[in-house]
Structure 1
Amino acid sequence: MRLARLTLVLTGVALSLLAVPAFAERNLVPTLDRSFNVCPDRPAEPVWMQEIPLRQAYQRVLVQDIYRAQNLERIVETGSCDCETRFPSWEAAEAVFREVHASDERWEMLEASDGYNGRANTARTVAKAICDAAGNW
Protein backbone atom coordinates (compact mmCIF):
# COMPACT_ATOMS: atom_id res chain seq x y z
CA MET A 1 0.00 0.00 0.00
CA ARG A 2 2.79 2.40 0.91
CA LEU A 3 4.62 1.71 -2.39
CA ALA A 4 1.42 2.34 -4.37
CA ARG A 5 0.91 5.68 -2.60
CA LEU A 6 4.54 6.70 -3.25
CA THR A 7 4.18 5.74 -6.91
CA LEU A 8 1.01 7.80 -7.18
CA VAL A 9 2.65 10.85 -5.58
CA LEU A 10 5.73 10.60 -7.79
CA THR A 11 3.56 10.21 -10.88
CA GLY A 12 1.59 13.32 -9.91
CA VAL A 13 4.77 15.34 -9.35
CA ALA A 14 6.22 14.18 -12.66
CA LEU A 15 3.06 15.10 -14.56
CA SER A 16 2.87 18.52 -12.95
CA LEU A 17 6.48 19.22 -13.90
CA LEU A 18 5.79 18.27 -17.48
CA ALA A 19 2.83 20.63 -17.66
CA VAL A 20 4.79 23.72 -16.59
CA PRO A 21 7.14 23.87 -19.62
CA ALA A 22 4.27 23.18 -22.01
CA PHE A 23 2.28 26.04 -20.49
CA ALA A 24 5.30 28.37 -20.62
CA GLU A 25 6.00 27.49 -24.25
CA ARG A 26 2.47 28.45 -25.26
CA ASN A 27 3.14 31.98 -24.05
CA LEU A 28 6.21 32.42 -26.23
CA VAL A 29 5.68 34.16 -29.52
CA PRO A 30 8.65 33.79 -31.87
CA THR A 31 9.53 36.81 -33.92
CA LEU A 32 12.23 37.74 -36.39
CA ASP A 33 11.81 41.43 -35.64
CA ARG A 34 14.83 42.86 -33.90
CA SER A 35 14.14 45.48 -31.27
CA PHE A 36 16.66 47.04 -28.95
CA ASN A 37 16.30 48.98 -25.72
CA VAL A 38 19.51 50.90 -26.40
CA CYS A 39 20.01 52.70 -29.71
CA PRO A 40 16.99 51.15 -31.43
CA ASP A 41 17.83 52.73 -34.81
CA ARG A 42 20.97 50.65 -35.36
CA PRO A 43 21.94 50.09 -38.97
CA ALA A 44 21.11 46.64 -40.25
CA GLU A 45 23.88 44.34 -41.39
CA PRO A 46 24.54 44.60 -45.10
CA VAL A 47 22.33 42.31 -47.16
CA TRP A 48 25.29 40.36 -48.56
CA MET A 49 26.22 39.37 -44.99
CA GLN A 50 22.71 38.19 -44.23
CA GLU A 51 22.63 36.10 -47.41
CA ILE A 52 26.06 34.52 -47.07
CA PRO A 53 26.01 30.71 -47.45
CA LEU A 54 26.31 28.74 -44.23
CA ARG A 55 29.65 27.24 -45.26
CA GLN A 56 31.08 30.77 -45.48
CA ALA A 57 29.55 32.08 -42.25
CA TYR A 58 33.07 32.69 -40.89
CA GLN A 59 33.26 35.67 -43.28
CA ARG A 60 30.16 37.20 -41.73
CA VAL A 61 31.53 36.56 -38.25
CA LEU A 62 34.80 38.26 -39.19
CA VAL A 63 33.00 41.41 -40.40
CA GLN A 64 30.93 41.42 -37.19
CA ASP A 65 34.13 41.10 -35.13
CA ILE A 66 35.79 43.93 -37.04
CA TYR A 67 32.68 46.09 -36.51
CA ARG A 68 32.58 45.39 -32.77
CA ALA A 69 36.30 46.09 -32.28
CA GLN A 70 36.14 49.32 -34.29
CA ASN A 71 33.12 50.57 -32.39
CA LEU A 72 34.44 49.82 -28.90
CA GLU A 73 37.82 51.36 -29.75
CA ARG A 74 36.07 54.44 -31.19
CA ILE A 75 34.09 54.87 -27.95
CA VAL A 76 37.32 54.74 -25.93
CA GLU A 77 39.15 57.11 -28.30
CA THR A 78 36.38 59.73 -28.39
CA GLY A 79 35.05 59.27 -24.86
CA SER A 80 31.58 59.37 -26.40
CA CYS A 81 28.93 56.69 -26.52
CA ASP A 82 26.20 58.31 -28.55
CA CYS A 83 24.34 55.94 -30.82
CA GLU A 84 26.19 57.03 -33.97
CA THR A 85 29.52 56.22 -32.31
CA ARG A 86 28.43 52.92 -30.80
CA PHE A 87 26.50 51.70 -33.85
CA PRO A 88 27.73 53.47 -37.01
CA SER A 89 27.17 52.20 -40.52
CA TRP A 90 28.89 48.98 -41.49
CA GLU A 91 30.96 50.66 -44.22
CA ALA A 92 34.24 50.90 -42.29
CA ALA A 93 34.12 47.26 -41.19
CA GLU A 94 33.24 46.15 -44.73
CA ALA A 95 36.13 48.20 -46.10
CA VAL A 96 38.62 46.55 -43.74
CA PHE A 97 37.25 43.13 -44.64
CA ARG A 98 37.50 43.78 -48.39
CA GLU A 99 40.91 45.48 -48.28
CA VAL A 100 42.64 43.21 -45.76
CA HIS A 101 40.83 39.87 -45.48
CA ALA A 102 38.63 39.14 -48.52
CA SER A 103 41.24 36.93 -50.18
CA ASP A 104 42.29 35.18 -46.96
CA GLU A 105 41.86 31.47 -46.46
CA ARG A 106 39.29 30.29 -43.91
CA TRP A 107 41.89 29.64 -41.21
CA GLU A 108 43.35 33.12 -41.70
CA MET A 109 39.91 34.67 -41.25
CA LEU A 110 39.38 32.65 -38.08
CA GLU A 111 42.72 33.88 -36.73
CA ALA A 112 41.81 37.45 -37.69
CA SER A 113 38.50 37.07 -35.83
CA ASP A 114 40.42 36.06 -32.72
CA GLY A 115 42.58 39.17 -33.09
CA TYR A 116 39.60 41.50 -33.45
CA ASN A 117 37.89 39.83 -30.50
CA GLY A 118 41.02 40.46 -28.43
CA ARG A 119 41.00 44.12 -29.43
CA ALA A 120 37.31 44.42 -28.59
CA ASN A 121 37.76 42.74 -25.22
CA THR A 122 40.65 45.07 -24.39
CA ALA A 123 38.49 48.14 -25.08
CA ARG A 124 35.27 46.71 -23.62
CA THR A 125 35.75 47.63 -19.95
CA VAL A 126 36.50 51.28 -20.62
CA ALA A 127 33.86 51.51 -23.35
CA LYS A 128 31.25 49.98 -21.05
CA ALA A 129 31.98 52.56 -18.34
CA ILE A 130 31.61 55.38 -20.87
CA CYS A 131 28.39 53.90 -22.25
CA ASP A 132 26.95 53.18 -18.80
CA ALA A 133 27.42 56.85 -17.94
CA ALA A 134 25.64 57.82 -21.15
CA GLY A 135 22.86 55.27 -20.60
CA ASN A 136 23.75 53.44 -23.80
CA TRP A 137 24.92 50.05 -22.62
Structure 2
Amino acid sequence: MRQAGCTLVLTALVLGLTSAPGFAERNLVPTLERNFTVCPDRPAEPVWMQEIPLRQAYQRVLVQDIYRAQNLERIVEIGNCDCATRFPSWDAAEAVFSERHESNERWEMLQASEGYNRRANAARPAAKAICDAAGNW
Protein backbone atom coordinates (compact mmCIF):
# COMPACT_ATOMS: atom_id res chain seq x y z
CA MET A 1 0.00 0.00 0.00
CA ARG A 2 2.75 2.41 0.95
CA GLN A 3 4.72 1.55 -2.20
CA ALA A 4 1.68 2.32 -4.38
CA GLY A 5 1.40 5.76 -2.76
CA CYS A 6 5.07 6.50 -3.43
CA THR A 7 4.69 5.36 -7.02
CA LEU A 8 1.69 7.64 -7.48
CA VAL A 9 3.58 10.63 -6.05
CA LEU A 10 6.64 9.92 -8.22
CA THR A 11 4.46 9.55 -11.32
CA ALA A 12 2.74 12.87 -10.61
CA LEU A 13 6.09 14.53 -10.03
CA VAL A 14 7.56 13.19 -13.26
CA LEU A 15 4.49 14.21 -15.25
CA GLY A 16 4.55 17.66 -13.72
CA LEU A 17 8.22 18.18 -14.49
CA THR A 18 8.07 16.89 -18.03
CA SER A 19 4.95 18.76 -19.08
CA ALA A 20 6.01 22.16 -17.69
CA PRO A 21 8.85 22.77 -20.16
CA GLY A 22 6.56 21.98 -23.08
CA PHE A 23 4.17 24.66 -21.94
CA ALA A 24 6.98 27.18 -21.50
CA GLU A 25 8.51 26.34 -24.88
CA ARG A 26 5.27 27.21 -26.65
CA ASN A 27 5.69 30.78 -25.46
CA LEU A 28 9.22 31.00 -26.90
CA VAL A 29 8.75 31.21 -30.62
CA PRO A 30 11.96 32.06 -32.47
CA THR A 31 11.72 34.66 -35.16
CA LEU A 32 14.04 35.98 -37.80
CA GLU A 33 12.32 39.35 -37.86
CA ARG A 34 14.28 42.32 -36.62
CA ASN A 35 12.11 44.15 -34.10
CA PHE A 36 14.03 46.69 -32.06
CA THR A 37 12.48 49.08 -29.56
CA VAL A 38 15.55 51.35 -29.61
CA CYS A 39 16.75 52.67 -32.96
CA PRO A 40 14.57 50.37 -35.07
CA ASP A 41 16.10 51.55 -38.36
CA ARG A 42 19.50 49.97 -37.70
CA PRO A 43 21.49 48.97 -40.74
CA ALA A 44 21.43 45.26 -41.47
CA GLU A 45 24.63 43.28 -41.33
CA PRO A 46 26.36 43.02 -44.70
CA VAL A 47 25.04 40.14 -46.80
CA TRP A 48 28.39 38.34 -46.85
CA MET A 49 28.29 38.17 -43.05
CA GLN A 50 24.79 36.70 -43.06
CA GLU A 51 25.78 34.08 -45.61
CA ILE A 52 29.12 33.07 -44.09
CA PRO A 53 29.56 29.30 -43.66
CA LEU A 54 29.18 28.02 -40.11
CA ARG A 55 32.81 26.87 -39.96
CA GLN A 56 33.88 30.49 -40.53
CA ALA A 57 31.41 32.11 -38.14
CA TYR A 58 34.33 33.43 -36.09
CA GLN A 59 34.91 35.95 -38.91
CA ARG A 60 31.37 37.27 -38.55
CA VAL A 61 31.76 37.44 -34.78
CA LEU A 62 34.99 39.41 -35.18
CA VAL A 63 33.31 42.01 -37.41
CA GLN A 64 30.43 42.24 -34.90
CA ASP A 65 32.93 42.76 -32.08
CA ILE A 66 34.78 45.45 -34.04
CA TYR A 67 31.45 47.18 -34.78
CA ARG A 68 30.39 47.10 -31.12
CA ALA A 69 33.72 48.42 -29.83
CA GLN A 70 33.88 51.20 -32.43
CA ASN A 71 30.35 52.34 -31.71
CA LEU A 72 30.61 52.35 -27.92
CA GLU A 73 33.94 54.18 -28.05
CA ARG A 74 32.53 56.74 -30.50
CA ILE A 75 29.56 57.42 -28.20
CA VAL A 76 31.92 58.13 -25.30
CA GLU A 77 34.31 60.15 -27.46
CA ILE A 78 31.69 62.55 -28.81
CA GLY A 79 29.23 62.35 -25.90
CA ASN A 80 26.31 61.69 -28.22
CA CYS A 81 24.06 58.67 -28.55
CA ASP A 82 21.74 59.39 -31.42
CA CYS A 83 20.80 56.38 -33.53
CA ALA A 84 23.25 57.22 -36.31
CA THR A 85 26.10 57.23 -33.78
CA ARG A 86 25.02 54.11 -31.91
CA PHE A 87 24.20 52.10 -35.04
CA PRO A 88 26.11 53.48 -38.05
CA SER A 89 26.73 51.58 -41.26
CA TRP A 90 28.97 48.55 -41.07
CA ASP A 91 31.53 50.10 -43.45
CA ALA A 92 34.09 51.13 -40.81
CA ALA A 93 34.01 47.73 -39.07
CA GLU A 94 34.31 45.94 -42.41
CA ALA A 95 37.27 48.15 -43.35
CA VAL A 96 39.11 47.34 -40.11
CA PHE A 97 38.42 43.64 -40.63
CA SER A 98 39.67 43.75 -44.23
CA GLU A 99 42.77 45.79 -43.46
CA ARG A 100 43.88 44.11 -40.24
CA HIS A 101 42.33 40.67 -39.87
CA GLU A 102 40.97 39.14 -43.07
CA SER A 103 44.11 37.15 -43.82
CA ASN A 104 44.68 36.09 -40.20
CA GLU A 105 44.43 32.55 -38.93
CA ARG A 106 41.38 31.51 -36.93
CA TRP A 107 43.21 31.70 -33.59
CA GLU A 108 44.41 35.22 -34.40
CA MET A 109 40.86 36.31 -35.15
CA LEU A 110 39.67 34.81 -31.87
CA GLN A 111 42.36 36.76 -30.02
CA ALA A 112 41.37 39.93 -31.85
CA SER A 113 37.72 39.36 -30.90
CA GLU A 114 38.78 39.10 -27.29
CA GLY A 115 40.60 42.43 -27.56
CA TYR A 116 37.64 44.20 -29.15
CA ASN A 117 35.34 42.78 -26.49
CA ARG A 118 37.62 44.17 -23.77
CA ARG A 119 37.55 47.58 -25.45
CA ALA A 120 33.76 47.49 -25.80
CA ASN A 121 33.29 46.39 -22.20
CA ALA A 122 35.56 49.20 -20.99
CA ALA A 123 33.53 51.81 -22.89
CA ARG A 124 30.13 50.30 -22.11
CA PRO A 125 29.40 51.94 -18.70
CA ALA A 126 30.09 55.47 -19.96
CA ALA A 127 28.29 54.83 -23.24
CA LYS A 128 25.30 53.40 -21.38
CA ALA A 129 25.04 56.52 -19.21
CA ILE A 130 25.09 58.76 -22.30
CA CYS A 131 22.59 56.57 -24.15
CA ASP A 132 20.29 56.26 -21.12
CA ALA A 133 20.14 60.06 -20.96
CA ALA A 134 19.26 60.14 -24.68
CA GLY A 135 16.68 57.35 -24.33
CA ASN A 136 18.60 55.09 -26.71
CA TRP A 137 19.73 52.19 -24.55
Say yes or no: does 1:123 pair with 2:106: no
* Letter in structure 1 aligned against 2:8: L
Say yes or no: does 1:75 pair with 2:89: no
Extract unaligned runs of 5+ from structure 2. Answer: none
Matches within 5 A, 1:1-137: 1-137=1-137
TM-score, normalisation: structure 1: 0.92
* Letter in structure 1 aligned against 2:73: E
How many Å separate the matches in 1 of 2:115 and 2:28? 38
How many Å separate the matches in 1 of 2:48 and 2:86? 22
CA deviation after TM superposition for structure 1 residue 126, in Å: 0.5
Question: Residue deviations 1:100-128, cap 9 Å, x none?
Answer: 22222222222211111111111111111
Question: Residue deviations 1:3-41, cap 9 Å, x none?
Answer: 211221221122122222222223433321121121111
The CA RMSD measured in Å over matched residues stands at 1.4
How many Å separate the matches in 1 of 2:6 and 2:132? 54
Secondary structure of the residue aligned to 1:88 is: coil
CA deviation after TM superposition for structure 1 residue 49, in Å: 0.6
Extract unaligned runs of 5+ from structure 1. Answer: none
Runs of 4+ that moved beyond 2 A: 23-30
Work out the number of aligned pairs and report it: 137
Question: Residue deviations 1:62-87, cap 9 Å, x none?
Answer: 11111001000000011111111100
How many Å separate the matches in 2 of 1:30 and 1:118? 30
TM-score, normalisation: structure 2: 0.92
